[in-house]
Each structure stands twice: as structure tokens, then as C-alpha cells.
Chains A and B, each alone.
Chain A
Amino acid sequence: MIEATSQTKTVARPASARERTSLGGLALLANAVLMYAFLYVPIAILVIFSFTSDQFGVRWTGFTLDWYARLFANQRLMGAALNTLYVAVISTVASTIIGTLTALAMERYRFRGRAGMDALLYLPIVIPEIVMAVALLAFSAFAFDLLQSITGEPIRRNLTTVIIAHIAFSISFVVVVVRTSLKNFDRRLEEAAADLGANGWQTFWRITFPLILPGIIGGALLAFTLSLDDFIISLFLSGPGTSLLPVEVYNKVRRAVTPEINAISTLMLLLSMALVGLSQLVQRRR
């Protein structure tokens, strides 16, 4: 009955309206094709031109793997890559633990100052990264001066400063992701465990933790990616002696296009794709 009326309606509708509908659909499709091309053509070009034998890296003159070979022979870049990985691993572990604890507190407890804590958690996500970078730079200088006047020993910015900063901005992202999985959580499971005699500790490790684990892993992967890709805070907070990969890449691309940069960019791109694929896989399991 309902189908029949809708059918009569379609027939009754003037031909021009139906034409417009398909035209609208066509326009949507055309826009989507253009947008996906817009997003992916530059990336494809970058990958292609990491294999060109042209020394300026902007023309196709033949296939070569030379640039990748040079990349791995470049001590400075490899050192920077290792530093970046080190910073990312430590800040991910720390921010995942701190973030998960904070998420549990925010979702499971009502306390005074909760709204303030909420603001403190959201601010790092919404303020421009450069504000956080200059603030941390000023703070580190201030704190180092203070520490020096106490201990008498000069302190300089190094990888630890970067790690501290990365943890500070990653916590908020981990909290957002873990809170989402705590919100979708069936609290009755915990009550059932308690009814069966499990204490708080057992309930957490046997029930709560396995159920929010996908959220924790998702948050950790996000924190890892954020730290690997972070360039602005790393630029402001890494001291003169310590180099990080995104900062090295930035210093090179400011000068010119080179095929080595195309190659390292391609590798960074592949790593991001692997990470986003992994995070999707974890979420699918949920």
C-alpha cells in the first residue's frame, strides 16, 4: 500500500523534478571524484617521484632506487628517525597509562572540580599547536633557570623536554578515545562480577580492562601517530644538539624539492597508512 502510493507519487511528479534529482546526484558524484583526486593526486605524485632518476625530483627521467639507498646511508637522517621513534614510544606508553587512568576517573566518579578538569582536558585539543609550543618553550626556559639557580648546574632542552611536551598533548586525545569506550560499556557486567564476589581489582582486570582494551589501543595508536608526525612542538622544544625527523624534513624542504625528501616522505606516508589501517582493524573488532 505504501509502496503503491510512493509509486504513484513518482509518476505524478513532473519530469523536470526527476531530472533535477539525477542532476543533483551527478553533481555530487562529480564533486566526490574531484575531491578524491584532489586529496590523492599530490600523494601519488610524491610517491612516483621518489623513484625518478631526475636529480631535482620533479621530472620523470627513469626508475631508480638510489634515493632510498642514500636515505639509509644518511647517518643524520637515520639518527633523527631513531630519536623520533624513541620519543614516540616513550610518550605513547606514558600518555596511554595516564590518559586511561584519567578517563576512568572522569567517567566513573563525580567530584568537585570535574568541570575544570574537563576544560583542562579539552584545551590542548582546541588551542592552536603553536600556542602550546611557545608556551612550553617559555616555561622550559623559566623552569630551567629556576632549577639552575637551585642546583647550580645548567640544563638544556633535549629529547626529554620533547617527550614531556608530547605526553602533555597526547593525554587529552587518549582520554577522549578511552572515554568513548567507557561510555559504551555495560555497567551491569561489573555489578555481576561484584555480586559473584570479585573485588574491585579483580573486576577491573577481568572485566573492565579487556572490554575497554580496543579503546586503549586506539588511543595509543593515535598518540603514537601524533608524536611521530608532530613537527611544531618538536621544532620549538628540541635543543640544538637533538634532531627529530619531522624537523629535519622541514629544514630540508624549506630550501628545495629533492628526491631524497620524496623518498623519506613516501616512507612516512606508508607508516601512517599502516597505523591508520591498524587502528581501523582494532575498532572493527570492538
Chain B
Amino acid sequence: MALDTLQKQRRRSGRLRLAGLLGPGALWLTLFFAMPLVIILLYSFMTAGPRGNVIWQATFGQYAALFTKDIYVNAYTRSIWASVLTTLICLLIGYPLALFIARSPQRWRTPLLFLILIPFWTNFLVRIYAWQIILSNNGLINSALDSLGLPTQTLLYTENATLLGLVYGELPFMVLPLYASIERFDFTLMEAAADLGASRWRAFLRVMLPITMPGVAAGSVLVFIPTVGQFVVSELLGGAKVDYIGNLLQRLFLRSNPPNWPLGSAMAVVMMAVLMVMIMLYFRSTTEEDR
């Protein structure tokens, strides 16, 4: 009986301690992360007022506009296509780079990895801005062309400049998770495959790639998600000539006169939904390949 009360007391004090540890974080994230998401979900079904206010009148109008008007449909397809391309390019150039680092002698690995970490921690805006110096009409490449007597090219404010900037900005986010899984890979498996008669390429496709798939998936997700929502690169390097979802969101919430928060909210909600579906599909496909 006394033991029982003691146990109950201990459990109660444990529960109190848990509440003390968990409380601040749970409260903060509920209030300042979950609630805001609920608010935009709510706003996305409301009507936009004439002065940029939100009128509490339920409608599916925002979603209808998103799925029927060219400007929005195009922005979604453009953003997703740019993200797919960026992810694929980062994967194609990042995998060999991660492999190179993982295969380097031990004492070289830390400095090589450190060189990937620096851009990872460096301000994205600043890194993208650096390309303006290189690509602008009177920039480095064009002055070099000019001094060689060649005609100058329009490089900045093009779609290709946007893609270049996206790959440049996201590459470290691909390489780091790839390195983490390639580094754990047992390379004697490749020798075993070779001994069994597999070509190097075949051994890579059938042995190494499936085993390092978690790194490929993690890197792809880390690159894909921020790229879908980006607006800085398409503005600084693409010249904001065409709209990506991020540019439209920024305009609808901050710049346009009057702003249209319900439509912007619907746009953000659809983007989240698209991302969730794509991530789920992606992870399902990678786990199936594992089998």
C-alpha cells in the first residue's frame, strides 16, 4: 500500500518533469508554427476584400482560380520542373563528388568536407549575388569576351542563369547527405560484384546505388523542397521575367496593391500538398527499389 503511493508519487513527479521539459517547446511550436499553418488554411477558403483585407465569407474561389488561370498553373509547373532539373543536376554532379571525398585518403577527407560545409553555412543571398558580378552585361565573362574581340552575350536575367544559380545554391545540400551514406558503404561489395563478373557500371547500378539510396533520397528532398519555394534566384539571376510560385507568393502577400492574402494562402497550401505527395511517392519508390 505504502509502496503503491510512493510509486504513484514518483510517477506524478516524473510526469511533472516531463511537462516542464516538453511544455515550452510544444507550446511555442503549436502557437507560432502549427497555428499559423491553420490560419492560412482558413484564409485560403475566404474572400479577398478590396483594401487587401480578408472577408470572412467562405468560398472555393481561390482554389478555382489556382487550377484554371494560366498564370498560376504555369507558375506551379515551372517551379516543379525547375526543382526536378535542379535535383537531377545536383545528383549527377554531386554523387561523383561525394564518392571522390569518401574514397580520398582519411587525412584529406576532413578538409575536403569542410570545403563543402562552408558554402552550406554561408548566406544564400550572398552566394547567389556573386554570380551577378560574373554574368552581368559588363561583368567578368562579357569583359573577357569583349577583350578577345568576341561579341558579348546576354547571360544574366535568363532562365539558364536561374537554373545555374539554383544548382550552385543547392549543391552542398545534396553532397553532405550523399557523403554520409557513401562513407558507410562497404566497398569490398564492389570487388565481390566484380569477382562475380559484373562490370563496374553494372556493379554500381545493382549494388552501390541501391545501398546508398537513403543518401540519394535525403539529398534530393533537401534540394527539391527549398527549390520549389525559391524566389530569390529567379529574381536576382532570372530578372523576375517569369513567375515562379515563390515570386507570386511574395507579390500576393507583400507587393501587390491591394495584396490578396486568401489567394496567396491557397497557393501556399497547394504547394505544401504537392510537396507532401511528391515526397511520399519518392520515398515509396526508393524503398521499393531497396527490396
Which residues of A are at the interface with B, using a C-beta cutoff of 8 A? Answer: 9, 20-21, 24, 27-29, 31-32, 35-36, 38-40, 42-43, 45-46, 49, 56-59, 97-99, 101-102, 104-106, 109, 111, 117, 120-121, 123-124, 126-132, 134-139, 141-142, 164-165, 167-169, 171-172, 175, 200, 225, 228-229, 231-232, 235-236, 246, 249-250, 253-254, 257, 261-262, 265, 268-269, 272-273, 275-276, 279-280
Instruction: Find chain A residues with CB under 8 A from B37 CB.
Output: 131, 135
Tell which of B130, B139, B168, B228 has the most Cβ of chain A within 10 Å. Answer: B130
| 8 Å CB interface, B21-76 against A | 21-22, 24-26, 28-30, 32-37, 39-40, 43
Nearest B residue to A229 via CB reads: B123
B254 touches A165 (CB 8 A): no
Asked if A42 meets B265 with Cβ closer than 8 Å, knowing A135-B39, A171-B29, A225-B121, the reply is no
Instruction: Find chain B residues with CB under 8 A from A45 CB.
Output: 130, 133-134, 140
A207 to chain B, nearest CB (A): 16
Nearest B residue to A200 via CB reads: B17
Partner of A128, one of B125, B225, B254: B225
A35 touches B171 (CB 8 A): yes
Partner of B100, one of A28, A98, A261, A275: A28
Tell which of A31, A135, A254 has the most Cβ of chain B within 10 Å. Answer: A135
B121 touches A167 (CB 8 A): no
Sampled A-B contacts (21; CB under 8 Å) = A9-B195, A29-B100, A32-B96, A36-B115, A39-B119, A39-B168, A58-B140, A98-B25, A101-B25, A104-B21, A105-B22, A126-B279, A128-B229, A130-B231, A130-B246, A130-B249, A131-B37, A134-B268, A138-B261, A236-B254, A257-B129
A257 to B156, CA, bound (A): 12
Partner of B121, one of A32, A49, A276: A276
Asked if A167 meets B28 with Cβ closer than 8 Å, knowing A45-B130, A142-B39, A276-B121, the reply is yes
Tell me how many residues of B have a C-beta within 8 Å of chain A.
82
Instruction: Find chain B residues with CB under 8 A from A28 CB.
Output: 96, 99-100, 103
Nearest B residue to A130 via CB reads: B229
A253 touches B236 (CB 8 A): yes
A246 touches B249 (CB 8 A): no
A42 touches B36 (CB 8 A): no
A249 touches B126 (CB 8 A): yes
Q: Is B258 an interface residue (CB 8 A)?
A: no
The 6 closest A-B pairs by CB, nearest first: A128-B229, A102-B25, A139-B36, A135-B36, A42-B130, A105-B21
A167 touches B40 (CB 8 A): no
B36 touches A280 (CB 8 A): no
For the A-B complex with A59-B138, A134-B264, A138-B36 known, give 13 more contacts whose Cβ atoms are closer than 8 Å.
A43-B119, A117-B26, A130-B249, A131-B272, A134-B40, A138-B40, A138-B253, A167-B28, A171-B25, A225-B121, A229-B123, A229-B125, A265-B126
B227 to chain A, nearest CB (A): 9
B119 touches A131 (CB 8 A): no
Which residues of B are at the interface with A, using a C-beta cutoff of 8 A? Answer: 14, 17-18, 20-22, 24-26, 28-30, 32-37, 39-40, 43, 93-94, 96-97, 99-101, 103, 114-127, 129-134, 136, 138-140, 143, 168, 171-172, 195, 200, 221, 225-226, 228-232, 235-236, 246, 249-250, 253-254, 261, 264-265, 268, 271-272, 275, 279
Nearest A residue to B164 via CB reads: A38
A280 to B35, CA, bound (A): 36
Nearest A residue to B114 via CB reads: A280
Partner of A229, one of B101, B124, B195: B124
A105 touches B18 (CB 8 A): yes
A159 to chain B, nearest CB (A): 15
B36 touches A132 (CB 8 A): yes
B168 touches A42 (CB 8 A): yes
Instruction: Find chain A residues with CB under 8 A from B26 CB.
Output: 102, 117, 120
A34 to B235, CA, bound (A): 26
Nearest B residue to A139 via CB reads: B36
Instruction: Find chain A residues with CB under 8 A from B131 CB.
Output: 42
Instruction: Find chain A residues with CB under 8 A from B226 CB.
Output: 128-129
A99 touches B272 (CB 8 A): no
Instruction: Find chain B residues with CB under 8 A from A35 CB.
Output: 93-94, 97, 171
A250 to B237, CA, bound (A): 13
B76 to chain A, nearest CB (A): 13
Instruction: Find chain A residues with CB under 8 A from B230 CB.
Output: 130
A246 touches B275 (CB 8 A): no
Asked if A102 meets B115 with Cβ closer than 8 Å, knowing A58-B140, A164-B32, A261-B129, the reply is no
